[in-house]
Chains A and B, each alone.
Chain A
Amino acid sequence: MDNAFRKIDIDAFDEDVLQESELYEPDPRDPAQVLDESKQRQVAVRGALAKGDIRGALAISLENAPFGPNVEEAKTLTLQTILSILNSTKSTEVSAVVKALTQDEQDTLMKYLYKGMAMPGWGDISGSVLLGWHEKLTEVAGTGCIVRTMTDRRTV
């Protein structure tokens, strides 16, 4: 059966097609400013980690997460920062840290866990760590947290 028609991009023939950008409020910040903030946060997180304050480090890194187009560098930098926190947490402490996060922070952390697992090659380095955090976070925040990661168009 000929099913080539299924590959036709019908949206290309629609003058009034719904754009991705219409689905969420854009970030009011300038891309350069977002990158600056990410760099500052990376420094602040290193400070918190040096003191062994995992909860504080996560709070800093999960605040005002970069989203939307044109901020790829800031997004990658934030992911690196968060991965460095996740990697330096003892697996026995994960549960307590996750419970201490606010609901918004939990949702944002879940987004970064999925982003980390989706990056080609990154999973090899910290795959088991990400899965461990994912398990604990799902126990605390439930399937609703995963659903919000999927629906939220403000991708990190």
Chain B
Amino acid sequence: MPPSVFSLSQTPVTCHSFDANRQQLAVSFNSNDAQILTRKGNEWTATETLAEHDKTITSIDWAPNSNRIVTSSQDRNAYVWQQTPDPETGALIWKPTLVLLRINRAATHVRWSPKEDKFAVASGARAIAVCSFDPENNWWVSKHLKKPIRSTVLAVDWHPNNVLLAAGSADMKARVFSAYIKEVDEKPAPSVWGSRLPFNVLCGEYSSPAGGWVHAVSFSPSGDVLAFASHDSSISIVYPGGPVIHNIKMSSLPFVTLTWTAEDSVVAAGHDCQPTVFSGSDAGWQAVGTLDDSKSSSSARSGFGSSPVGRLNSTAFNTFRDADTRGQASAGASGGDTKVLTIHQNTITSVRPYEGQPGQVTKVSTTGVDGNLVIWDVNEVASLAAQFGGIHLK
């Protein structure tokens, strides 16, 4: 099945999160508000606006079972939104509850824990706020993971055991912490990451050889393996026993988001505008292809196949190149085609599982700076070399 493309907006989509039935979608269009979109046939229509933040929203997560939404923003706040009946009309509306994050810099990323009784907020304050509900006072309280974080935390991801938390940071490290909260959690069973796990224990600290900000982290479905994407155009897969780290360097631009689709498969996406599939085991990992089979989606793409620089092969690029090499202004030589050769027309900022169970994800969804939402079948992998990633062909 070819990927489904929905144009949500002319503005960038900061982040997206679906509800449990995939009939509603929470997104932020690079603004202070989050929108709830409802699917009607092949259209997504805005049905409600979550307006409470007073700076740009950075991340949204929709808890599938408890049906709560958490949003984080540059205004240093997070809100938990819950559907409650309006006292006057009786209609269900989303009501915000402020979370006491106690951070003095922007909140950058937020994720519910698997049991949905905690969430973690990454921030520019060199800290992660782990939040849990305090029923006595009827509010969300936070505990900070601080040491040894040295810079802004860019991404967090929960281990399936509801206790361990992975974090990627601008100090070029991916870390695994214990986010054990006595009041909420049962004692976790020992795992490959350790056996004694009080709050803020550092279970591992990893980096890519060439460094770079760690934009995305993710535990494998079993929780025994960690994947992270860093700004050196590589992804790393960490097996904590050794630790053994498999680092796959790409010839394209860096990835900023990734997700596991199975215990042996990862989808990563970012500045290269196309989701790339990696697969492997503890013996080794490699890039196996892209979900963006551009040949099927547009015949106009043939003929551009030999560009060594991928998306740079645009009209503007060709105009300047022709002016440089041939001394001519090439009006109309390339037909005024300003489209990038991929389905997403700009950086993909978020990739998330869409269909299937953890470990057997069959579809993933992506949103990006081009304002598009695309739903991909993860089994339709096209070879990278056959694409305009013709870098290796030349």
- A residues at B contact (CB < 8 Å): 18, 22-24, 103, 107, 138-145, 147-148, 151-154
Contacts and interface: CB of A to CB of B under 8 A. Distances in A.
A77 B204 CA distance: 38
A152 B207 CA distance: 12
Nearest to A17: B150
18 contacts: A18-B171, A22-B150, A24-B172, A107-B210, A140-B394, A142-B251, A142-B308, A142-B309, A142-B391, A143-B251, A143-B309, A143-B310, A144-B232, A145-B251, A148-B212, A151-B210, A151-B230, A152-B232
Size category, B interface? 20 to 34
B262 interface: no
A152 B210 CA distance: 5
Interface string B303-331: 00000111010000000000000000000
Contact of A18 (B150, B251, B312): B150
A138 B309 contact: yes
A142 B172 CA distance: 22
A138 B251 CA distance: 9
B231 A147 contact: yes
Contacts of A103: 249
A151 B232 contact: yes
Interface string B120-153: 0000000000000000000000000000001100
B211 A24 contact: yes
Interface string B199-234: 000000000001111000000000000000011111
A154 B172 CA distance: 13
> 4 smallest A-B Cβ distances: which pairs?
A142-B251, A144-B233, A151-B212, A152-B210
If over half of A's interface residues share one DSSP class (helix, strand or loop), that class is named, otherwise mixed; here it is: helix
A98 to B, nearest CB: 11
Given A18-B171, A144-B251, A152 B211 contact: yes
Contact of A144 (B150, B249, B312): B249
Given A107-B249, A142-B308, A147-B232, 15 more contacts: A22-B150, A23-B172, A24-B211, A107-B210, A138-B309, A139-B394, A140-B394, A141-B391, A142-B250, A144-B250, A144-B251, A147-B212, A147-B231, A148-B249, A152-B210
A103 B213 CA distance: 21
B148 to A, nearest CB: 10
